[in-house]
Amino acid sequence: MFLFLGHSEDPCCAGVFARLEARGLPVRVVAAPLAPPAQLTWRLDAAGLASSLYPDVPDTAIAGVLVRDTGWLEPAGWDAADHAYMQAELRAVTLAWLAGLACPVINRPDAALWYRAGAPLLAWRALLRRSGLPLPEVVITSDPAEARAFRRRLAAGGVAGAVYAPLTEAAGFLLADDDAWERLAALQERAPVCLTEPHGAVTLACIVGNAVIWDRALPPGAVALEPALRRFAAAARLDFVEIALAPVRRGLAVVLVDTLPRLEHFALPARARILDALVALLTQERERAVAPAAPGVLS
Amino acid sequence: MILVCGGLADGVTELVCSRLQDCGYPYRLLDLARFPENYRVAWRWTDSGPEGWIAATDWRLDLDAIGGVYARFLGPEDRPQMPGLDPADAAALRAEGDVSLMALLEDLTCPVVNRIGGGLSNNSKPYQALAISRTGLSVPPTLVTSDPAAARAFHAEHGEVIYKSASGIRSIVRRLGPDQLARLDLLCDGPAQFQAFVPGRNIRVHTVGERVFATRIESEAVDYRYAHLDGLTARLEPIALPPTVDAACLRLAHAFDLLFAGIDLKETPEGEFFCFEVNPCPGFLYYERHTGQPISTALAELLHRPAPVVRREAGNTMT
């Protein structure tokens, strides 16, 4: 049996599900892996680790796991503190269970990945840089003069405005005029702000195993980044990651890393290749489907 | 220059600052109780690591002058209100400040005690136990289950069993007694973590770079940190561990990318060592005060004259 932690309406779950089902391979999709009918026993002792999540399927019979969600306990009916505790407990147990499985787990989480899902690009920056990937300039400052200096540097490069990108939100706000910069300066009285340079149209790459799957037409320089993209995914121990590249002042740069790639971001031909590669990873048919097309071949 | 990020009112941070002062090692304190509103920062990332500065009212520190960092973040209860802001807005601004600082610390090349990524395993005790077992240290027989029958069988097998949270929240160790056994059917609503009670003496190990400080604790309490709550006491003394256990503790700290770690062990009457958990931000003040072990001095030396510790790629994927 294959197990998907996520939702059946997620196109990625649905697509892989359909491919496995077409081969006659059983799949179970669960949003709350520890909820009944699950009945977990996870035992670690001198003999090693033995675990069982479902009474009807031993963990050793789970052929592969696709992790699309880290689990969310509905807060309705819970006291806020108790909800936070139970949520933390369920996530802690799910992480341990996933970490101990012998089958392929995509992505097999470690604590840093599990507890920082959705982390901003800045959290990946050192690893991206060490992998040889170009990055946009970022400034964090509570000094309005430094913010103005960044604005001037961008303007000198022909870029009007900057993007204010709070690190605790998945949002960005274009600072397009003097009013916006003045409001930013007022905010800086209280806390530092994270600014980055605006970028051009995004090109998406999805790395699945060792395959770099591009979406649509490739901008100049993209193919040359494939080895660095593979190095990054390997160093981050990610079997499945979406990376957005876009032109900034000094050329193409990584502007987003998403460890829960969205299939719906990609055009249909790329989706098919991503799903094929995922199925190959889950079923361990690495030689057949993970071997990518020639570098730079459009999907 | 050493950068200390912590609360001035926090005893552990205060001890670190006092020790640095005593050793004559220059440092700057970034008081997290007043961060970010009382500080100015300018950090810039281009093709290399971060560059820029941090400034308080009476000092300014360039990032490239920082030779080591000690960080001990504060909870919301340890921070004063921000005048003129409602608590939710203040919490949001402080969270943004903390995340900014964490991002900076992750990307500095100097020794940082400790980077956030390495300590996240402490949020899942069973995950950490699995990692501990993979470094060669024994862990107590552990069961995480939502099956009441499995819990009862585990209790019957081991006789004496403790339970504790699987996450880092409400993490107090308690003995599984008749009252709890009567409530095991509630496990169907969510799993709990049980461990065989390991008889013997508690040992707290602090690893500081490549140095190891072991402290034996004699107490009748199940969790000696809370002995006073049960009207009991705890007696602490420095000990030397077998070299193999020393080495295993260092391997464990390295595996989690922790330059400074608090490791909880127990030595059984038969001389076997079991490891319970690794704390990435140990409150070592309690141990140093009771034993006089020079933990803070070792920490000061690590920060001032960093040993040639190479940051490991493993165990902390985001750095």
Structure tokens at A262: 């969205």
Put simply, whether B129 touches A (Cβ < 8 Å) is yes
Angle at B121 between CA B120 and CA B123, to 5 degrees: 75
Contacts of B168 in chain A (CB under 8 A): 88, 92
Can you state the angle between helices A121-130 and A226-235, rounded to 10 degrees? 110
What was the pLDDT predicted at B312? Answer: 43
- For chain B, give every residue range classified as CATH 3.30.470.20: 118-140+198-293+300-319
Q: In chain B, positions 163-192, which contact chain A (CB-CB < 8 Å)? A: 165-170, 188, 190-191
Structure tokens at A154: 């961008």
Q: pLDDT band at residue B118, thresholds of 50, 70 and 90?
A: confident
| Secondary structure tally for chain A: helices H, strands E | 8, 14
CA distance A219 to chain B (A): 21
CA distance B264 to chain A (A): 17
Which residues are CB-contacts of A296 (< 8 A; sequence separation ≥ 6)? A214, A218, A222, A223, A226
- For chain B, give every residue range classified as CATH 3.30.1490.20: 141-196
Q: Is residue A164 part of a domain?
A: yes
Considering chain B, what is the average pLDDT of its residues?
91
CA dihedral (B170, B172, B178, B181) positive or negative: positive
Q: Could you tell me if A24 and A85 are in contact, meaning their C-beta atoms sit under 8 angstroms apart?
A: no
What was the pLDDT predicted at B233? Answer: 86
Residue A27: how many CA atoms within 13 Å on its side-chain side?
24
Alpha helices in chain A (DSSP H): 11-22, 80-100, 111-115, 121-130, 144-156, 178-188, 226-235, 268-283
Residues A279, A259 share a domain: yes
Q: pLDDT band at residue B314, thresholds of 50, 70 and 90?
A: very low
CB atoms within 10 A of CB B82: 18
What was the pLDDT predicted at B306? Answer: 67
Residues A153, A231 share a domain: no
**Residue with tokens 């005593």, as numbered in its chain:** B22
What was the pLDDT predicted at B307? Answer: 56
- How many independent structural domains does chain A possess? 3
Q: Does B41 contact A192 at a Cβ distance shorter than 8 Å?
A: yes
Q: Could you tell me if B110 and B304 are in contact, meaning their C-beta atoms sit under 8 angstroms apart?
A: no
Residue of A nearest to B95 (CA): A168
Whole-angstrom Cα distance, residue A79 to residue A86?
A: 10
- Tell me the pairing of strands A41-45 and A203-208: unpaired
- Domain containing residue A76: CATH number: 3.40.50
Residues A142, A109 share a domain: no
Residues A237, A149 share a domain: no
Structure tokens at A206: 């999805």
Residues A186, A227 share a domain: no
Structure tokens at B63: 């990032």
Residue of B nearest to A48 (CA): B133
CA distance B121 to chain A (A): 5
Last residue of a domain, one of A154, A179, A196: A196
Contacts of B117 in chain A (CB under 8 A): 112, 116
Residues A184, A204 share a domain: no
User: Is residue A220's pLDDT more than 90?
Assistant: no
CB atoms within 10 A of CB A82: 12
Whole-angstrom Cα distance, residue A260 to residue A241?
A: 7
User: Is residue B266's pLDDT more than 90?
Assistant: yes
Span A15-70, pLDDT tens digits: 999 999 999 999 999 999 999 899 999 999 999 999 999 999 999 999 999 999 87
User: Is residue B315's pLDDT more than 50?
Assistant: no
User: Is residue A293's pLDDT more than 50?
Assistant: no
Q: Does B43 contact A142 at a Cβ distance shorter than 8 Å?
A: no
User: Is residue A258's pLDDT more than 50?
Assistant: yes
Q: Could you tell me if B119 and B73 are in contact, meaning their C-beta atoms sit under 8 angstroms apart?
A: no
Q: Does A235 contact B313 at a Cβ distance shorter than 8 Å?
A: yes
Domain carrying residue A53: 2-115
Residues A92, A143 share a domain: no
Last residue of a domain, one of A84, A115, A146: A115
Contacts of A115 in chain B (CB under 8 A): 120, 123
For the beta sheet containing B27-31, the strands, ordered from the edge strand earlier in sequence to the opposite edge, are B27-31, B2-6, B68-71, B112-113
User: Is residue A290's pLDDT more than 80?
Assistant: no
Q: Which residues of A131-159 are buried (b: 16+ CB within 10 A; e: fewer)?
A: bebbbbbbbbbbbbebbeebbebbeeeeb
Contacts of B193 in chain A (CB under 8 A): 93
What was the pLDDT predicted at A169? Answer: 87
Query: For testing the chain A interface, which of B99, B138, B188 should be mutated: the one with the most A CBs within 10 Å?
Result: B99
Span B161-176, pLDDT tens digits: 999 999 988 778 889 9
Residues A222, A274 share a domain: yes
Q: Does A236 contact B318 at a Cβ distance shorter than 8 Å?
A: yes
Q: Does B41 contact A91 at a Cβ distance shorter than 8 Å?
A: no
What was the pLDDT predicted at A221? Answer: 84
CA distance B90 to chain A (A): 9
Residues A21, A109 share a domain: yes
DSSP one-letter code for A191 = S
CB atoms within 10 A of CB B165: 17
Contacts of A122 in chain B (CB under 8 A): 45, 103
- Domain containing residue A234: CATH number: 3.30.470.20
Q: Which residues of A30-46 are buried (b: 16+ CB within 10 A; e: fewer)?
A: bbebbeeebbbbbbbbe
Residue of B nearest to A127 (CA): B319
CB atoms within 10 A of CB A19: 19
In this prediction, residues B111-115 reach a mean pLDDT of 94
Provide the percentage of residues in chain A whose pLDDT is more than 70.
95
- The topology under which CATH files domain B141-196 is Dna Ligase; domain 1 (3.30.1490)
Span A174-207, pLDDT tens digits: 999 999 999 999 999 989 999 999 999 999 999 9
Q: Is the domain defined by B118-140+198-293+300-319 classed in CATH 3.30.470.20? A: yes
| Secondary structure tally for chain B: helices H, strands E | 9, 16
